[in-house]
Amino acid sequence: MTGEGLRQVMLVVFGIIGGLILLLWVPKSIQATEARLVEQRAIAVQQTVTSLRVAHPTWSQHDCELVAAGKVTLGMTADMVRASWGEPRDVNRSVGSWGVHEQWVYYSTYMYFKNGVLTSWQD
């Protein structure tokens, strides 16, 4: 084999080895980046939960965690839903001897409140 032929073979071998190293290293690098992002998100959610607990001492830890995650559940107050999802696009109110019923409109989701407590929703 000539010097040039040997050189070409070595380049191919080194290219294959380099590619294998890259294949082994990149997934670990991506996993590490994903793990850091998950950890940063968890820290941000916990900071939000802490802020909510300070601002709303009557809210339970569980309710603060739901609000921080942008979730709603039956029995939440109107303030909790507003903190979780933001201001509704529209509010329709009915007032009678039974109390106050409200329908909050969030694009394709309708939330129904009875006297300030979430009783149902439709999406």
Q: What is the pTM of this model?
A: 0.69
Contact between 78 and 102 under an 8 Å Cβ cutoff? The reply is: yes
37 confidence band (pLDDT: 50, 70, 90): confident
Enumerate residues 6+ apart whose C-beta is below 8 A from 86.
none
Residue 60 pLDDT class (50, 70, 90 cuts):
very high
Range 78-87 contact pairs with CB under 8 angstroms and sequence separation of 24 or more: 78/102, 78/104, 78/113, 78/116, 78/117, 78/118, 80/118, 81/111, 81/113, 81/118, 83/52, 83/56
% of the chain beyond a pLDDT of 70: 77
User: Using CA of residue 83, residue 84, residue 90, residue 92, what is the dihedral sign?
Assistant: negative
Q: What mean pLDDT do residues 47-57 have?
A: 92
Q: What pLDDT, on the 0 to 100 scale, is given for residue 25?
A: 61
